[in-house]
Structure 1
């Protein structure tokens, strides 16, 4: 009579899958790695080495954003997906660039409608006057917009 012996499989490696994206707008500029899971490590422990400190990093676990103040309390489980990406920021001046853009569009719209009306009211509808006024309004308008929204 033959006896069946149980087969004991080797345990699956306990890994964490990680992606470090160095440019949020270029999906190819990243490093994909697997990290051995250690039950006693926190997220801060995992992030301690490979991240350059001069950037502001956004960190997510399984698709959820983890704020930096929680990195030392969050623990990872085997099979978790860790995503680390440079947090994109606007240029200098923050929201002033948006305000400047909207104001410049408004200046151009005003110039489009105001130039012929002013030329008709003050210069008898002269096309030369309309052209000069049409060029003057955006010039003065852009000067004022840049003056008021300077960083």
Structure 2
């Protein structure tokens, strides 16, 4: 559920006070996805990531978002295909984790590197499998 308890987010991520909503679009219309984005903005998410394996869906929702949302809200919404989403999340995690802190009086700089290509490939395949399974379930319901 969203933090306000009013709606649901497909995937909610939170780290160090930063909140990200991930909405996955498989069969929803562009208007339904815009409504989901608005729900996430109302719930106070810092970023909203819309993920779809269909580039046309992303383009339609992006176009509608540009028309309907305030400029300040448009900056919070990002659009990805599954493989792009993982790269973005890895980069964000590396930025958040790279920091300087004091340990027993010493300054310690910590930098994290994004995962290697092999691990990226494994994650991409896992996401692809999840999306494929969801599409198969939808096909059986029809």
Return the TM-score normalized by structure 1.
0.25
User: In terms of Rg, which structure is larger?
Assistant: 1
Report the TM-score, using the length of structure 2 for normalisation.
0.27
Higher RCO (CA-CA < 8 Å; seq separation 6+): 1
Which structure has greater helix proportion?
A: 2
